[in-house]
Amino acid sequence: MRDLAAEGVVDVIAVEEGRVVVGGVEYADPASADGGSEVRALRRGRRPWTRWAVERLLLLAEQPVTQVELAAVLQVTQQSVSHVLRGHRFATRTDRGWVIGQRADALDDVLAEYPGPGGASTYWYGLDPAVRQAEAAATWCAESNVGCVLTGDVAADVYAPWRLPAVAGLYIRGLLDFTAAGFTPATDAEYTLVVTVPQDPTLWNTAAAAAQPTARVDPAADIELLPVRVDPIIALHDVLGSPGPDAAEAAEHLRRAILEGTWRG
């Protein structure tokens, strides 16, 4: 509810917490020095999805990228990209485009600040290994004409194999019932597949960019099909939050692959 309220989708009154969120603006009622109260706006809810996406694209790029190229990939205006890059502490402009310096520090900053794609999740249970569950879920999405990308351990297993995936993660463009694909509804305490409809609108674009030049085209529809995985930095974020005692070690393995460029295979 907080995420939806921060996006301005709903208004929220949390009585016990003493918070009101109206139009994406959060208000509080702190006691003033004279014993009275003063309602004040705490923060605006819109998250800088475009900035985080630009940073991910530059961190993953093999060569400098122009503002025109960044805007085209993210399907935003050049003005939006220019606003992101102006005065950026890690981004530098060259004669061929923009690059990220101090890449390790820049990546750590992104991971520390990025809250995740957000959105609503459903949980499912299956008996097959996690990779096979992910493939079955993705196939069901394709048959249902719902776009999806894999994330977490299953994506990391392709970018930088390290541990056997225990849970399958999927981002999809719309809610879908996976019982027909052989899954049983589960809770967030016990599941083998988590499916999320993300709030981050850039997730699909950066996933497609990371898949190049292997993205496929459907000859019948003459449109580019979505790649099967999120970009490596989103995958890294999700691995860091995944269960298992070796999650941190698996995340560090993927982090090194991102910094060294070996995630491309």
Question: Running along the chain, 265 residues long, what does each successive block of 10 average in pLDDT?
Answer: 74 80 68 40 69 97 95 94 93 95 96 94 96 95 95 94 92 95 94 96 95 48 56 97 89 96 89
Domain 49-113 identical in fold to domain 120-264: no
* pLDDT of res. 159: 95
**pTM score:** 0.79
CATH 3.10.620 fits domain 120-264: no
* Tens-digit pLDDT profile for residues 180-199: 999 999 999 999 999 999 99
pLDDT score, position 8: 67
Please give the CATH number for the structural domain made up of 49-113. Answer: 1.10.10.10
CA-closest candidate to residue 206, choices 234, 165, 164? 234
**35-53, pLDDT tens digit by residue?**
443 444 444 557 899 999 9
**Domain residue ranges of the chain, discontinuous segments joined by +:** 2-44, 49-113, 120-264
